Amino acid sequence: IKMDPSELKLEHETLSLLLVLNCIVLVLSLLFGYFIYQKILSKKQLNGILDPSLSSNSITVTQLIIYPIKSCSGISLNSVNLTSTGFENDRLFMFIDSNQNFISQRKLPFLATVQANFSPCNSNLILSAPHINSLTIPIIKSSSSDSKVVTIWGESCNAVDQGDLIAHWFQMLLENQRKSRSKSEKQYSELFLPVYNNVRLVRIEERFHRSIEYGFVRGNNPQKHQVSFADGYPILLATEESFTEVKKHLSDGEHGEEDVDIGRFRANLVVKGSGKAWIEDVNWFRLEIGKEKLSFQVCKKCERCKLPTVDQKTGVMGTEPMKTLSEFHKDSEGKVCFGQNLVNEHKKGVISVGDSVRVFVRS
């Protein structure tokens, strides 16, 4: 059959067009497949993979603690609400010296004996300490006249002064401490510095956004996460298995066990059931807690200072457990660490003692 040249040309052009279209479809399919693969890979890299060595119910929450005032006594709770800055009511307040700089147990160990509680509606703060009457003050959340710029670890923060009543109360507490101590005692010499003659209590300003330490939080927008007056991260995790290992070394060593409990490390979240000490430092990447599967990034190990040497019941500073811990558990850089800093990816939700913890490791 003879075909007209124009028909042959049209058929050739049609076949060429179909071939080009097929090539385009193939390329688009490959690009789409690559995009999906990268998205899945990115999600795995961001979220980690479920640790196959741990059953879903093996790790549970055993303690939940908040510290209303930075470096003061904590409150154990059966359940906590999550907020944009971690656990609700955790380290919203702190004491500052006359230079507007934060005060901690590192300088004034007796702060461990100062207890702060909230009234039922969270409108008042109730303070108590040994050998002094308790005090109840209204919480001032925002006030232009009482606004201050305060400093924590060299970082400026907006805060609200809580008034003269609590300042006077703290001054009486400080004078009691000065009367019972001597300037010649090295660990108490800080008590007598004039910088503490006008201590104030402040609350972080409600609208102030204090960003988390840069470089350790994953995701496209790590600066969206924030922290109140905690040192650097909203939540500190500790495992009972790692603390048991610390206690074992204290018992076996020349220093004796002393009265050391896990409260020395001032964690917010304590879990049990990992089956091995320090496993949280090796490959824990992300946690999901409770039926709501509330997600927490495991960001970095917590480098320890001398604060764990303060007995949280008496406010007296010693040498343990840091002396023993430094002898057997240092990281590759020679730093003494205990616990993991977390960031809560969910800003709402409730976690409770007894909740199961799912551990995700690096993919």
Q: Rounded to an integer, what distance in angstroms lies between the CA atom of residue 197 and that of residue 97?
A: 8
CA angle 349, 342, 126 (to 5 degrees): 65
The structure tokens listed for 127 are 């303070």
Q: What is this structure's pTM?
A: 0.85
**Token reading at 327:** 């002898």
In the sheet with 75-77, reading across from the earlier edge strand, the strands are: 49-50, 357-361, 284-289, 294-303, 337-344, 235-239, 269-272, 60-66, 75-77
246-264 pLDDT, tens digit each: 999 998 765 555 679 999 9
Q: Is 33 exposed, middle or buried (0-12, 13-18, 19+ CB in 10 A)?
A: exposed
Q: Lowest-pLDDT range, 61-65, 136-140, 143-147, 191-195?
A: 143-147
**Sheet architecture: strand order including 93-96:** 93-96, 200-204, 155-161, 147-152
Q: Which amino acid is at 230?
A: A
pLDDT exceeds cutoff 60 at 281: yes
**15-29, 50-64, 334-348: segment of lowest average pLDDT:** 15-29
Taking only the tens place, the pLDDT of each residue in 82-128 is: 999 999 999 999 999 999 999 999 999 999 999 999 998 889 999 99
Beta strands per DSSP E along the chain: 49-50, 60-66, 75-77, 79-83, 86-87, 93-96, 115-118, 124-129, 132-138, 147-152, 155-161, 200-204, 235-239, 269-272, 284-289, 294-303, 337-344, 350-352, 357-361
For residues 205-226, average pLDDT: 86
Q: By mean pLDDT, which of 131-145, 197-211, 241-255 is the weakest?
A: 241-255
pLDDT of amino acid 220 = 72
Mean residue pLDDT across the chain: 88
Mean pLDDT, residues 181-198 taken together: 86
Measured distance CA(75)–CA(9) in Å, rounded: 86
Average pLDDT over every residue of 271-276: 94
DSSP letter assigned to residue 212: P
